[in-house]
């Protein structure tokens, strides 16, 4: 097994017509760890995800996945290399059942074998505590269930690195704690490496081995959750008001 970090981003940057959305950002996600990417609105977090996932071409820098240079590979190729992701706005295929939504991704992995994809999808739904809702139409799910379905769909392609974009947003504390427990279980039992964008600090504190803080497209701090939440720059730019 490679000893390289699962993900290594080296001086990555992205400009949108003169706006520097991400500037010289460098960080690593060690294999099997949970790392959080935090920062105020517009800090460049989702753009960073898009650069890692190949959804946007990089303006500068390099992305290494599991020791392999994946810079410039497109989204489909990076997904095949082992990166799964969720999106901020959860949009299941409304006309499909819960399990069929997961099968859309699983079928690709299972080479079109429907029975195999269904069995694998049901296993994933059980991990996400959605097994009993497998046959329901996806559009009937509540927000917390839709959030977990979004994670299940991302897992369908068997990623080694899972990118989660604000999966706690809109959840009540009790549902947030449930999602935290599920993600901790996944990480512990399958060794899945997770990079998450999150504003809900309760979840960041409970889940993360390491936290990277962005502001105006630049990394302003990184460290353990307690290190970053007491970092003067992070308090000034992001957490100050909430903690005041
Ligand atoms: N496709 C685009 N074209 C032009 N500007 C963009 C594009 N995508 C993002 N931006 C700009 O880049 C900056 C970073 O945006 P980004 O969505 O990455 O921030 P974020 O940290 O994810 O914010 P939030 O917490 O609100 O989701 C913002 O100023 C945003 O308006």
Domains with residue ranges and CATH for the chain: 7-90+161-243 (3.40.50.300)
32 lines ligand 1 (CB under 6 A): no
Average pLDDT over residues 101-109: 86
Residue minimizing CA distance to atom 17 of ligand 1 = 46
- Phi, psi of 89, rounded to the nearest 5 degrees: -95, 120
Residue 110, pLDDT score? 72
Task: Examine the pLDDT at 73 and tell me if it is beyond 70.
Answer: yes
Query: Which stretch of 107-116, 121-130, 133-142, 162-171 has the lowest confidence by average pLDDT?
Result: 107-116
Q: 175-210 burial by CB neighbour count: b if 16+ within 10 A, else e?
A: bbeebbebbeebbeeeebbbbbbbbbbebbbbbbeb
51 lines ligand 1 (CB under 6 A): no
Instruction: Calculate how far, in angstroms, residue 228's C-alpha sits from the geometric centre of ligand 1.
Output: 22
Read off the pTM. Answer: 0.94
Residue minimizing CA distance to atom 1 of ligand 1 = 16
Q: What percent of the chain has pLDDT over 70?
A: 97
Euclidean distance between CA atoms 114 and 111, whole angstroms: 9
């Amino acid at each position: 097994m490679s000893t390289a970090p699962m993900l290594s981003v080296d001086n990555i940057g992205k400009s949108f017509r003169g706006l520097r959305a991400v500037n010289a950002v460098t960080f690593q996600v060690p294999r099997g760890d949970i790392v959080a990417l935090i920062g105020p609105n517009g800090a460049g977090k989702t753009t960073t995800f898009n650069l890692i996932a190949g959804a946007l071409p990089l303006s500068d820098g390099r992305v290494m996945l599991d020791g392999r240079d994946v810079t410039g590979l497109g989204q489909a190729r990076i997904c095949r290399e082992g990166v799964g992701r969720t999106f901020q706005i959860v949009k299941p295929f409304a006309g499909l059942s819960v399990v069929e939504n997961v099968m859309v991704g699983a079928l690709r992995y299972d080479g079109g074998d429907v029975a195999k994809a269904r069995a694998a999808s049901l296993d994933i739904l059980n991990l996400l505590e959605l097994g009993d809702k497998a046959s329901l139409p996806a559009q009937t799910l509540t927000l917390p269930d839709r959030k977990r379905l979004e994670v299940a769909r991302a897992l369908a392609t068997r990623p080694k690195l899972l990118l989660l974009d604000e999966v706690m947003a809109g959840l009540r504390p009790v549902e947030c704690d449930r999602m935290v427990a599920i993600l901790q279980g996944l990480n512990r039992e399958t060794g899945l490496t997770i990079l998450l964008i999150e504003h809900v600090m309760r979840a960041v504190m409970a889940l993360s081995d390491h936290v990277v803080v962005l502001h105006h497209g630049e990394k302003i701090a990184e460290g353990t959750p307690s290190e970053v939440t007491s970092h003067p720059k992070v308090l000034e730019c992001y957490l100050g008001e909430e903690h005041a």
